[in-house]
Amino acid sequence: MIKKVICLVLLGSLIFSCNGSAPVDPCCSEPCQNRGLCVSKGLDAYECDCTRTGYYGENCTTPELSTWIRSIVKPKPNTVHYLLTHFQWIWDIINNISFLRNALMRYVLTSRANLVDSPPTYNADYHYKSWEAYSNLSYYTRTLPPLPKHCLSMGATSLPDVKQVVQKVLLRQKFIPDPQGTSLMFAFFAQHFTHQFFKSDFKKGPAFTKSLGHGVDLSHIYGDTLEKQHKLRLFKDGKLKYQVLDGEVYPPLVKDIQVEMHYPPHIREEFRFAVGHEAFGLVPGLMMYATIWLREHNRVCDILKQEHPTWDDERLFQTARLILIGETIKIVIEDYVQHLSGYNLKLKFDPELLFGESFQYQNRIASEFNTLYHWHPLMPDTFQIQDQFFTHSQFLFNNSIVAQYGIGNLVESFSKQQAGRISGGRNLPAGVQVMATKILEHSRETRYQSFNAYRKRFNMEPYTSFEELTGDKELASDLKSLYGDVNSVELYTGLLVEKPRHNAVFGETMVEMGAPFSLKGLLGNPICSPQYWMPSTFGGKVGFDIVNTASLRKLVCLNVKGPCPFVSFKVPEDKVYNLADISLNSTASQEGDVNPTVLLKERTSEL
């Protein structure tokens, strides 16, 4: 069979196919720069809409005066990051001067959030503005419009085989620990927190989401439907259902409340815990957090009941949920984002900082944000709990670990075990390589633009060579053999192979692209609006104080029996080591000894 070869000849602004068929849309060559929007005019002309881009001219390439001045005086992202992560003595002063700290925090929030379009503009089926792209909540939104189906990418040849990409530049050769000292406590928090809004609906396709709340709604605690919520609720004093094991509260069992959970057939009934997210039985780290939040909800209900003895079950439940949403956002900003940023500026959760700004209290989850947040390199090759070691297969679906060791011991063990480095390439665990191939396939199916296109969208210079991208000659050579042109590198690949910042878990693009999505989603939550952010929303001063004093340590310490364990998103200095060389203990529990690759093939839509 003779392969049909399609070639393109560019004649001015008009593109013809070589076989004499109809001309192609001139906008396919992406002539408009600096976020200018291309509108074709017939088959032989186009115009660029440069409105509010800060540029003008035929292709939006001539900067306005204010844009030119700003480009000269505004420091590069890496310069800003260096300033924020060095000069500790200066930041100690700033952190103790309220108006300076508030002013800087306000700038961080507004400058990041302004990079996210609100209201949403595109989805996978509409590369132009439409009411459908705005109103249909079943889609993930898109930050950059998808490449139109009738266009061919002008900067790329055919893309490499996805399995080859994973095996040559992404797959782990040897565990690379995160030099920032990130702990597994952080890794599992990231996984449990984000899967309340990253829930792709693959029955419809990778462009669709089942999480219609598009943000922090704690559906992973309360269920994503009213039916599931009602099955999880006790309907007494606002509380959620639970069971008591060894004097401590744990989630109820599937057999007792009949909610959908994903467990393999061999898992015994007494370890089939039921929580808000159907996939949280996957690993003990997820069930640990689910148990902590269950206990926190019921603890808050007890406080509200004492403060408001006349309130009915419904009001206690609804108010407790708002309080837990507030606690979550505060912990994410002041503990979680604080750690991953590495900033010496002490981050602050204070919605009132934005009350004088133009800010929209709504959010839509972007498909690119979902792709960006696949941080599987965080996972080590083995998991240590006290003096016991577990392989991936022994760890998967093993809730016996949760019941046997207890929440306090899990917290301390995960806080002392180092996670892997995310950026830098070749640190993806073998057990998730099937998932990585699916991510690349879905990115192509929904027609993502290139990694460099996203760098330009988030005000970064595009990379001009593979070695500049990776900082590693061998990795650059392998990447070039796959993609040929650095402008052809895909978003997911680029994020994982990009050279990390100095002593950091991430590269530049992961931070500069991820931070706007994160902060817009957190501060765009309704509870942060002037209409909600007041004591009465949270049951008065007592509930408001719970939100305003929340921290990771407090969340754990108030919900475990006995002394508070060591809890941190960063491992102690004496625990920074590589687990790859540790021999496994042959007596490890076999309760969850299953094939991770087989199980994950069926669950790529979740984790």
Residues that are catalytic:
195, 373
- The C-alpha atoms of residue 240 and residue 293 are separated, in whole angstroms, by 10
Contact 259, 233 (CB under 8 A): no
Q: Is residue 227 exposed (0-12), middle (13-18) or buried (19+ Cβ within 10 Å)? A: exposed
**Which DSSP state fits 128?**
S
Q: Which residues fall within 8 angstroms of residue 545, CB to CB, at 6 or more apart?
A: none
Question: Which among 257, 277, 262, 249 is positioned nearest to 402, based on CA atoms?
Answer: 249
User: How many Cβ atoms from other residues are within 10 Å of residue 169's Cβ?
Assistant: 23
Q: What angle do CA 375, 555, 569 make, to 5 degrees?
A: 35
Question: Which among 487, 334, 501 is positioned nearest to 422, based on CA atoms?
Answer: 501
Contact 183, 415 (CB under 8 A): yes
Q: In terms of DSSP bridges, do strands 388-391 and 382-385 run parallel, antiparallel, or are they unpaired?
A: antiparallel
Residue ranges in 524-558 assigned as alpha helix (H): 541-548, 552-557
Contact 318, 441 (CB under 8 A): no
- The C-alpha atoms of residue 429 and residue 442 are separated, in whole angstroms, by 20
Contact 131, 137 (CB under 8 A): no
Which amino acid appears at position 37 of this protein? L
Question: Which among 21, 18, 15, 19 is positioned nearest to 43, based on CA atoms?
Answer: 15
User: How many Cβ atoms from other residues are within 10 Å of residue 361's Cβ?
Assistant: 18
User: How many Cβ atoms from other residues are within 10 Å of residue 93's Cβ?
Assistant: 9
Q: At what angle do helices 77-85 and 508-523 cross, to 10 degrees?
A: 80
Question: Which among 213, 218, 210, 220 is positioned nearest to 138, based on CA atoms?
Answer: 210
Q: What angle do CA 293, 354, 340 make, to 5 degrees?
A: 50
Contact 325, 257 (CB under 8 A): no
Joined together, the tokens standing for residue 257 give 């409340």
What is the length of the chain? 607
Contact 286, 251 (CB under 8 A): no
